[in-house]
Each structure stands twice: as structure tokens, then as C-alpha cells.
Amino acid sequence: MAEPFKVWQCSNCGFLYYEAKGLPEEGIPPGTRWADVPEGFECPLCGFAKRDFEMVEV
């Protein structure tokens, strides 16, 4: 069985990235795993980098 989708959170502003939903408006399709999000990704709310995100339980 595939890994369940996870949720990642920006540690500066609290923005939530849902792997299941992706971020289509930023060109990241639904179902994109965090590992596959481009390294240059920036938080859409505050501009912090991908490395500033943490996995969370929501």
C-alpha cells in the first residue's frame, strides 16, 4: 500500500502544505510528495525556504 499523504508546515508563518492537495496555483500538482517539491520552493505566505518546513499532524 502507498504511504499515506502527509502535511508539512512552515515554521515561520504556519502555512500548511498538504501533499494530497499539492499547490496547483504554484505549479505543484495534487499528490506531490514533499520530497518531490522543488528545492527552490518558497512558502507562499512568507517566502521562507523548503528547509524551514516541518512535518505535522493536523
Partner 1 sequence: MIIPTEVAQSVADPKAYADDKRAHDAFTWLRKNMPLGRAELDLFDPFWVVSKHADILEIERQNELFHNGDRASVLTPKEADRKVREMMGGSPHLVRSLVQMDNPDHMKYRRLTQAWFLPQNIKKLENRIREIARSFIDRMEDKGGACDFARDIAFLYPLHVIMEILGVPEVDEPMMLKLTQELFGSADPELNRNKKAVDDVAANVNAVAATVAEFIAYFNKMTADRRANPRDDVASVIANGEIDGKPLGELEAMSYYIIVATAGHDTTSNTTAGGMWALAESPSEFAKLKANAELIPLYLEESIRWVTPVKHFMRTATADATVRGQKIAKGDWMMLSYPSGNRDEEVFEEPFKFKVDRSPNKHIAFGYGAHVCLGQHLGRMEMRILWEELLPRLKSVELNGKPRWMEANFVCGPKTVPIRYTMH
Q: Which residues in this chain contact partner 1 in the complex, by CB under 8 A?
A: 9, 12-14, 16, 25, 44-47, 56-58
Q: In the window 20-49, what residues touch Zn ion (CB under 5 A)? A: 43, 45-46, 48
Cβ proximity to partner 1, 9 vs 32, nearer residue: 9
Of 38, 39, 11, 44, which Cα lies nearest the Cα of 25? 44
15 near Zn ion, rule: CB under 5 A = yes
How, if at all, do strands 53-56 and 16-18 pair? unpaired
- The nearest distance, CB 1 to partner 1, in angstroms, is 26
Cα dihedral 55, 6, 15, 42 sign: positive
